[in-house]
Structure 1
Amino acid sequence: MPARYLEDLSVGETWEGGPIPIAEDAVIAFAKAYDPQPMHVDPVAAAQGRFGGIIASGWHVAALVMRDYVESSPFGDTPLLGLQLDGLRWEEAVRPGDVLQARREILEVTRSRSKPDRGLVRIGVTVTNQHGRTVMRYTNLVQIFARPDAEAGC
């Protein structure tokens, strides 16, 4: 995809990434390294717990969604800088065998007054499983450059 800049973006624009398959060995490996709770790493303990089996760490899901975002490159090779993440919610357990889909929507586009060569884009992210149920959502604020030859005013 060609580079996209602040002026190329509009509120209401949406795109989807994925699919993001969830593999049990990856769930366990991530959790052993970063979130070693029994429901993420121990199939026997997880089967006896409140989820009835292994579930993915929410941080693993978030990392997979971030990778999907980078790989789908909705802004081409335009450099982005993540500034803020709000309202992160894990709404349903993610299990091995699930296939996730991330949908992103531009909620706000604002040119910086102090640095008119860039601006802010607020993006709503909703992640669903193969049954269409929301498993995670959040709002992300990113900084993106304006077109190098653009006039100020977005």
Structure 2
Amino acid sequence: MSEAIYFEDIKLGDSISFGPLTVDREEVIEFAAKYDFQPFHLSDEAAAETHFGSIIASGWHTLALYMKMFLTEMQKHGWQEASLGGIGIDELRWLRPVRPDDTLRGTAEIIETSASRSRPEMGIVKSKVMLFNQHDEPVLTMIPITMARTRPTAA
């Protein structure tokens, strides 16, 4: 793992790529059965009666897959030390269905940073995230808003 990255180290335009990750059919069904049990997430027969034509992953499952890929990559670069979690997502869009056996990858680019006025131990970071399938077609875009710890000062 790299040296820790803190809020002060994050610059506009910084970007990172993450993935790939192949979508597992059984996980699609398992996630949907537990959290998003719409028929087109659970069976090809039900999905065939919709505009999807075949089973698709829940959009919420797609977000969970994003988190897995993103955090795996960020932990390699020392980000975990500064992470204080997220406070929201702007402009979330599911652009195309994600299907079993699709291979996803993503990019995240820093588009805004701001120091907290009320909490000097943290800053706010916005990034533009795009997920793509194996055909380089965008399947998801969003702007996560996260909190990052500022560099500790010597006591």
TM-score normalised over the length of structure 2: 0.91
SS of match in other structure, 1:124: strand
Alignment of 1:36-55 (within 5 A): 36-55=37-56
SS of match in other structure, 1:71: helix
How many Å apart are 1:50 and its aligned residue?
A: 1.4
What CA distance in whole angstroms lies between the structure 2 residues aligned with 1:103 and 1:79? Answer: 18
Task: Please tell me whether residue 85 in structure 1 is matched to residue 86 in structure 2.
Answer: no
How many Å apart are 1:110 and its aligned residue?
A: 1.2
Structure-2 residue corresponding to 1:8: 9
Letter in 1 for 2:148: I
How many Å apart are 1:112 and its aligned residue?
A: 1.5
SS of match in other structure, 2:19: coil
How many Å apart are 1:38 and its aligned residue?
A: 1.2
Task: Please tell me whether residue 106 in structure 1 is matched to residue 110 in structure 2.
Answer: yes
The runs of at least 4 consecutive aligned structure 1 residues that moved more than 4 Å come to: none
Structure-2 residue corresponding to 1:141: 145
What CA distance in whole angstroms lies between the structure 1 residues aligned with 2:42 and 2:133? Answer: 21
Q: What value does the CA root-mean-square deviation take over the aligned residues?
A: 1.4
What CA distance in whole angstroms lies between the structure 2 residues aligned with 1:54 and 1:134? Answer: 19
Quote the sequence identity (%).
39
TM-score normalised over the length of structure 1: 0.91
What CA distance in whole angstroms lies between the structure 2 residues aligned with 1:79 and 1:105? Answer: 16
Q: Deviations over 1:18-38 (max 9, x none)?
A: 112111111111101111111
Letter in 2 for 1:72: E
Q: Deviations over 1:64-100 (max 9, x none)?
A: 1112222212514323220111111000011111001
Q: Deviations over 1:1-57 (max 9, x none)?
A: 321001111000000111121111111111011111111101212223211111111
Contact 1:88 1:137 in 2 (8 A): yes
